[in-house]
Structure formats: C-alpha cells, structure tokens
C-alpha cells in the first residue's frame, strides 16, 4: 500500500541542481520583502493583472474558456456567470480570492480541501462538489488518432479519504518540525495529490489553488503578483511530461519525484525573476516608454505579443506601447511577426550584428 512520508522523499531530492534552484529562489524571496514594504502602489496594479491571468489560464488548461471581455468582467465581479464555463471561472476566482486574503488562517486538512472544492463549484449545479470521488477514476491520454489509453490509475475511491488524511498529516508534521525546505514539501504534496486524484472533476485546478495556498503559508507570495498558473499553461507539455515521469511506480513507493520537483521549482524561479524585472521596469523613471518596450523584447527568449508587453507594464497605456512598437519597427530594432490577433515581436538580430 502507498505510504505518505514527505520527509523520506524530500531527503532523496537534495541534488546539486535542486539545491541551487532553491538557493536562487530564496535570494529573490529576500527582494520580495523589500518590494512589498516600499512599493505597495506599484504592486496593486500587478495584483489586479495576476488575478485575471490566474483565473484565465488555470481554467484554460482544462479547456474552460470565455472571451477576454467577459473574463475581465467576471474576475472584477461585475457580472454573473451565464454558462457552465463562466460558472467554473467565477468559482475559481472566489477560491483564489479567499486564499489571497485568508491564507494564514487556512489549515491544510482533508476537510478544508473538501470545502475549497465545494466553493470551486459554488455557481455550478453538481452533486460532486465538496465530495471525494465515489467511483474509481483513471487518467487517460489521447493519441493523434483519437485513441484513448490509461496513462495512470489513481488511488481507489475507497482508499481516497484515508490517503488524503495521511498526506495532509505528513505535510503538517514536517512543516511544524521545520527541518525540510518547504519548497520540497510543497512540490511532493502536489504530486501526491495529483496521483491520488481525489475528485471526479477539478483535480488540476485544485492542485494549482493548493500550490498557491502552500506557497503563501510558507512565505512565498510571488503568486499574488505573477500568475503561476499562466507560467504552467505556457509550458503545459513540460508540465504533463514531468508529472508522468514522476508518477511511474508511484503506487509502489518507487517513483522519482525529481522530474516534477525540478519543473515546479523552475516555475517558481521564473515567477520571481518576472516579478523582479517588472518592479524594476516600473520604478526606473529614467527609462522612456520606448526604452522599456525595447528592453522587454530584447530580454524575451522568444517572440512576445503586445498583450504580454501591456501586462508587464501596467503603468503604461496600451496606446503608448503601440506607439513605442511602431517607432522601434521604423528604426529597425525589432521585427514584427504577423499573426492576426496573435501578432508578435522579436529583436532584430541582424541589426545587432552590424
């Protein structure tokens, strides 16, 4: 039978690469405190954007979508949901807001996880909300021809309540001791949660909400200002690949957590880097709008859309960014890659080599 010993599993993960990643994250975490204390006005605009992005992309991973206009209206609590997709988006919004405002007083217990799942479906008519699965489920994958096959068989419905209780107990026991880095405990908890797959529906979204909650409770609150859900959605192939590799032989307690831990730590590290960059862009008064847009494009490892640039510069109007892009295009410093609504930009490497 599967054992839930987060301490034992954590001790296997102290590889040089993982230790280095944790060290870098802690350096950025130190800056996080300074930013929060001295730049509250700037962080307010980042917070608003992150809320919209988190609800958008966490649901989008599961194929739950609505228009950009409706999404903003729903997240800002201006309209009532009008279909099933919007009901689930509104539910995610509310749970995320609850975590943002009350994370310190939310314990990590099986009963609380059930309550959060219930609230995730508060606008939907379903008999599964706030209840563990009542029948066995399977994680399937579909090939290019539409053929389905079972990729992973989670814990049985009968064993699920006990498994969730044991997982929460193990996590809380190690957090109280304080001997294991919480980032390792968090990532292992999430893999085990996804492997138990305790609900009929909503496991993926619950895993991301629990990720945010666990990070906040351990002092890593970067997810308030940079959407971790968006970073996962942008790399979801790597996410699923790492999860699959780390779930092999999970039932036999012989799985290798390293793949998923490295992926998740990479997401946290990127979130902190983005957070640091955005605060520095906004607070550097010496830079013109054109300078900031040019730097963002130069630092981007791949093409970047105007929408992404706007999101990184919440203090600059979209019109000003549009003018800066046109000026950079005229000067030949950037290249425009046409794609309709997804038109993107990249630095002109040929110009840089002159």
Say which CATH number the domain at 234 has.
Answer: 1.10.3290.10
Q: Any residues with CB less than 8 A from the CB of 157 and at least 6 apart, and which?
A: 132, 133, 134, 135, 136, 137
Q: Is residue 121 part of a domain?
A: yes
Helices (H), the chain: 6-11, 16-38, 40-61, 68-75, 84-102, 110-120, 160-177, 182-196, 203-217, 228-234, 236-247, 258-283, 289-299, 306-312, 318-330, 349-352
Q: Is residue 122 within 8 Å of residue 91, measured between CB atoms?
A: yes
What are 90-146's pLDDT values in tens digits? 999 999 999 999 999 999 999 999 999 999 999 998 889 999 999 998 887 776 677
Q: In this structure, are 204 and 308 located in the same domain?
A: no
Which residues partner with 335 through β-bridges?
346
Q: In this structure, are 191 and 100 located in the same domain?
A: yes
pLDDT of residue 308: 83
- Is residue 275 exposed (0-12), middle (13-18) or buried (19+ Cβ within 10 Å)? buried
First to last CA, the chain: 64
Q: Is residue 32 part of a domain?
A: yes
Q: In this structure, are 199 and 230 located in the same domain?
A: yes
Domain boundary among 280, 296, 313: 280
pLDDT of residue 200: 95
Q: Is residue 246 within 8 Å of residue 260, measured between CB atoms?
A: yes
The 8 Å CB, 24+ separation contacts for 39-42 are 39/279, 39/283, 42/279, 42/282, 42/283, 42/315
Q: In this structure, are 150 and 257 located in the same domain?
A: yes
Q: In this structure, are 276 and 307 located in the same domain?
A: no
pLDDT of residue 352: 47
CA 28 to CA 51: how far, in whole Å?
21
pLDDT of residue 271: 95
Instruction: Give the residue ranges of the chain where pLDDT is below 50.
Output: 352-354
Q: Is residue 10 within 8 Å of residue 258, measured between CB atoms?
A: no
CATH number at residue 323: 1.10.10.10
With both helix axes pointing from N to C terminus, report the angle between 182-196 and 258-283 in degrees, rounded to the nearest 10. 120
| Structural domain span for residue 67 | 6-280
Q: In this structure, are 275 and 333 located in the same domain?
A: no
Q: In this structure, are 76 and 203 located in the same domain?
A: yes
Q: Is residue 200 part of a domain?
A: yes
Q: In this structure, are 123 and 204 located in the same domain?
A: yes
pLDDT of residue 354: 41
pLDDT of residue 39: 67
Q: At 317, give phi and psi (nearest 5°).
A: -70, 155
Q: Is residue 68 part of a domain?
A: yes
Q: Is residue 230 part of a domain?
A: yes
Q: In this structure, are 315 and 203 located in the same domain?
A: no
Give me the sign of the Cα torsion angle 91, 96, 97, 99: positive
HSE at residue 174, side-chain half, CA atoms within 13 A, is 23
Q: What is the pTM of this model?
A: 0.87
Domain boundary among 249, 280, 311: 280
Q: In this structure, are 183 and 133 located in the same domain?
A: yes
Give the containing element (helix H, strand E) for 303: none
Q: In this structure, are 238 and 258 located in the same domain?
A: yes
Instruction: Give me the number of domains the chain comprises.
Output: 2
Nearest to 196 by CA among 110, 106, 98: 110
CA 280 to CA 282: how far, in whole Å?
5
Q: Any residues with CB less than 8 A from the CB of 251 and at least 6 apart, and which?
A: 2, 153
Domain boundary among 280, 314, 342: 280
CA 220 to CA 211: how far, in whole Å?
10
Q: In this structure, are 261 and 303 located in the same domain?
A: no
CA 284 to CA 210: how far, in whole Å?
35
Q: Is residue 1 part of a domain?
A: no
Separation of CA 133 from chain center: 24
CA 349 to CA 347: how far, in whole Å?
6
Q: Is residue 184 part of a domain?
A: yes
Q: Is residue 324 part of a domain?
A: yes
């Amino acid at each position: 039978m599967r054992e839930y010993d987060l301490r034992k599993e954590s001790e296997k993960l102290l590889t040089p690469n993982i230790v280095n990643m944790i060290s870098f994250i802690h350096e950025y975490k130190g800056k996080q405190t300074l930013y929060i204390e001295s730049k509250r006005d700037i962080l307010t605009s980042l917070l608003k954007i992150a809320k919209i992005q988190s609800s958008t992309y966490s649901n989008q991973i599961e194929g739950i979508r609505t228009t950009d206009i409706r999404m903003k209206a729903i997240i800002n609590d201006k309209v009532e949901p009008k279909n099933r997709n919007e009901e689930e988006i509104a539910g995610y919004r509310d749970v995320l807001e609850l975590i943002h405002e009350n994370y310190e007083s939310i314990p990590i217990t099986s009963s609380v996880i059930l309550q959060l799942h219930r609230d995730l479906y508060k606008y939907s008519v379903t008999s599964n909300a706030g209840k563990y699965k009542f029948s066995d489920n399977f994680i399937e994958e579909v090939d290019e021809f539409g053929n389905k096959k079972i990729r992973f068989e989670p814990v049985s419905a009968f064993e699920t309540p006990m498994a969730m209780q044991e997982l929460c107990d193990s996590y809380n026991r190690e957090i109280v001791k304080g001997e294991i880095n919480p980032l390792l405990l968090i990532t292992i908890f999430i893999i085990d949660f996804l492997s138990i797959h305790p609900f009929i529906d909503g496991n993926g979204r619950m895993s991301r909400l629990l990720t945010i909650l666990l990070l906040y409770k351990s002092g890593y609150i970067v997810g308030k200002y940079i959407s971790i859900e968006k970073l996962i959605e942008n790399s979801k192939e790597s996410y699923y690949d790492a999860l699959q590799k780390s779930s092999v032989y999970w039932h036999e307690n012989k799985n290798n957590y390293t793949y998923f831990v490295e992926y998740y730590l990479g997401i946290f590290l990127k979130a902190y880097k983005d957070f640091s960059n955005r605060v520095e862009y906004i607070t550097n008064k010496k830079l013109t709008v054109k300078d900031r847009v040019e730097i963002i494009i130069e630092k981007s490892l791949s093409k970047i859309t105007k929408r992404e640039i706007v999101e990184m510069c919440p203090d600059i109007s979209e019109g000003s960014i549009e003018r800066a892009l046109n000026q950079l295009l005229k000067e030949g410093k950037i290249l425009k890659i046409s794609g309709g609504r997804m038109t993107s930009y990249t630095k002109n490497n040929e110009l840089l080599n002159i």
